[in-house]
């Protein structure tokens, strides 16, 4: 009845590139950086990335104790806002929660979306056959809203670069909504 099991997991972390995370803005309370695609924001020891995360790489650059105010999915690049202290993170997250912060995204899609298209399909998550969490349009999902604000360019290959605004912030929302509307990410 007092059996115990000990599981030891050893995960090798991928090599950290010798590249600095670009700093866009810096003051005593905040840091804004250009997050490259392919990096987790937070350390993910089970996924083999501790130092190979934005926070880990910034720590290696000498920035200690940073607190990301939001997340950006691993395959996505963009501006990431971080706070340097508790007061600053509280203020920044309060502004985000009260929608005092505008988040604008650029996406390259297949086809030519309609300007001012509003996509409101509910989104939920499930596990794929490899045990990874995936986001999908689901009838029992959470209310979600995405608006295409502008088309910046149409390209020779049949793709378009569009300006997207999120009305909610669901997991992989842009990817799911654009795909659902018939304009998948290129």
Cite the active site residues. 73
Structure tokens at 118: 């509003």
Strand intervals (E) in 60-171? 67-68, 78-83, 104-110, 118-119, 123-127, 133-137, 146-154, 159-166
In degrees to the nearest 10, what's the CA dihedral of 174, 178, 184, 186?
-50
């Amino acid at each position: 009845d007092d059996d115990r099991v000990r599981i030891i997991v050893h995960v090798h972390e991928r090599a950290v590139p010798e590249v600095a995370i670009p700093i866009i803005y810096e003051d005593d309370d905040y840091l804004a950086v250009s997050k490259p695609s392919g990096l987790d924001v937070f350390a993910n020891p089970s996924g083999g990335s501790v130092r190979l995360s934005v926070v880990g790489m910034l720590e290696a650059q000498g920035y200690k104790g940073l607190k990301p105010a939001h997340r950006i999915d691993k395959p996505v690049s963009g501006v990431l806002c971080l706070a340097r202290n508790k007061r600053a993170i509280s203020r920044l997250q309060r502004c985000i929660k009260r929608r005092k912060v505008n988040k604008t995204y650029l996406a390259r899609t297949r086809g030519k979306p309609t300007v001012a298209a509003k996509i409101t399909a509910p989104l939920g998550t499930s596990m794929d056959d490899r045990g990874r969490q995936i986001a999908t349009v689901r009838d029992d999902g959470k209310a979600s809203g995405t608006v295409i604000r502008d088309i910046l360019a149409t390209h020779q290959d049949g793709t378009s670069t569009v300006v997207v605004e999120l009305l909610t912030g669901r997991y992989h929302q842009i990817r799911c909504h654009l795909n659902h509307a018939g304009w998948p990410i290129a």
